Amino acid sequence: MPRKSEKKKTGAARNQNPIGINGGAGGTVTDISGQGTAKKLVDVGGMDELYRGILEGVGEDTQREGLLKTPYRAAAAMKFLTQGYTQSLDEILNNAIFEEDNNNMVLLRDIEFYSQCEHHLLPFFGKCHVAYIPNGKIVGVSKMARIVDMFARRLQVQERLTNQIADALEEALQPRGVGVVAEGLHLCMIMRGVEKQHSKMTTSAMRGTFLEMPTRMEMMSLIRNGGDVF
């Protein structure tokens, strides 16, 4: 059993690296708040050092208290915000496709999405509306939202994001038709550049029966007039 002096020495040695950046994947980061809890580290693959260089490049002191853990936090956030690169459609669907004799439109409205513009690495975000007309198969409703997230959590342009969502649903279900409408606010043109504060971008991707005007109009009517459940 270790003596008290040994315990203190061990604790002091552990706290010599309060940042915990060097722990690597699966390591721990020491809790510098003093609450004695530890958090698992995300493997950021050296991106923390790149963020440290960016901070120094804009003239910041990376050794001041408020920035000590910022390079790691920023790198870990970027890993989270781009996790769509490591996901696949099969993984997202997880076999949640079911046979169902239904040929009426299925629409999931107001799916919030958060993505990053690939040109400036600034966020764009908004709502996505996804609809399909089944052809003997339906998909678990949460999977439609997960498909949106998988493609949103990559460096994107809204036009491509909208098409990728439609293509994925078409690939998964082979439905009679798919329709996707996305509405987004782009910080790359709100907080910089032309600085248009109230501009909103709308994109659509239509497949199959949604290329026909009656089906398209039904979808748009349901989006506009669906109302709130609560």
In the beta sheet, which residues pair with residue 116? 123, 155
Cα 125 from chain centroid (whole Å): 10
Regarding pTM above 0.95, the answer is no
Q: In what order do the strands lie in the sheet with 201-208?
A: 155-156, 106-117, 123-133, 177-186, 201-208
Active site residue 188: yes
CATH classification code of 14-81: 1.10.286.10
Active site residue 119: yes
Cα 33 from chain centroid (whole Å): 29
Given the residues 60, 87, 188, 218, the one annotated as active site: 188
Helix (H, G, I), strand (E, B) or coil at 120: coil
Structure tokens at 195: 């600085």
Q: Does position 4 have pLDDT exceeding 80, yes or no?
A: no
Active site residue 186: yes
Active site residue 158: yes
Q: For the segment 69-125, what is each residue's pLDDT rounded down to a tens digit?
A: 999 999 999 999 999 999 999 999 999 999 999 999 999 999 999 999 999 999 999
- CATH architecture assigned to 97-225: 2-Layer Sandwich (3.30)
Q: Summarize the confidence of residues 180-208 as an average pLDDT.
A: 95
**Location of each CATH 3.30.1130.10 domain in the chain:** 97-225
Given the residues 6, 49, 118, 212, the one annotated as active site: 118
**Location of each CATH 1.10.286.10 domain in the chain:** 14-81
Active site residue 198: no
Given the residues 117, 128, 164, 183, the one annotated as active site: 117
Active site residue 118: yes
Q: For the segment 35-62, what is each residue's pLDDT rounded down to a tens digit?
A: 445 567 889 999 999 999 999 999 999 9
